[in-house]
Amino acid sequence: MILYHVTTDESLDSILKNGLKPLIGERSIKIENIPAIYLFPNIDYLTDALYGWLGDEFEDYNGNLHTLKINLPESFQVENTCEYEVCSYNPIPSKYISYLRKEDF
């Protein structure tokens, strides 16, 4: 199962080394109350989000955004939250994560 995650300069090295951990981040705190990892089921949804609502969330961010490719076993439990997003309530180990690209939008 291939999924995608967007992260910042500040989080990139830690994620690649330690994996993703379910959290309520500063962009999620307004609408989320359960720690989770939010992922895109395909690259088109990720791109649409970056040029829309997700890009708006990073409007004042001065660093770079990076896309990570998450290659999970089919047995790894994720939940469909809507058409363009899935989430995991479990940590995702770094062995399933690879760097895909720096985002230029």
Alpha-carbon span 45 to 11, nearest angstrom:
22
Ordered by start, the domain boundaries in the chain are: 2-103
pLDDT value of residue 104:
86
Tell the burial category of 105 from Cβ atoms under 10 Å away from its Cβ (0-12, 13-18, 19+).
Answer: exposed
Answering whether pTM is above 0.85, one says yes
Chain-centre distance for alpha carbon 1: 15
Give the tens place of pLDDT for each residue, 22-72: 998 776 666 667 999 999 999 999 999 999 999 999 998 999 999 999 999
Average model confidence (pLDDT) across the chain: 93
Decide: 97 and 14 in contact? Cβ < 8 Å.
no
The pLDDT, as a whole number, for residue 74 is 95
Q: Domain 2-103 adopts which CATH fold?
A: ADP-ribosylation fold (3.20.170)
Do residues 80 and 89 make contact, with C-beta atoms less than 8 angstroms apart? no
The pLDDT of 94-99, averaged and rounded, is 98
**Which amino acid appears at position 25 of this protein?**
G
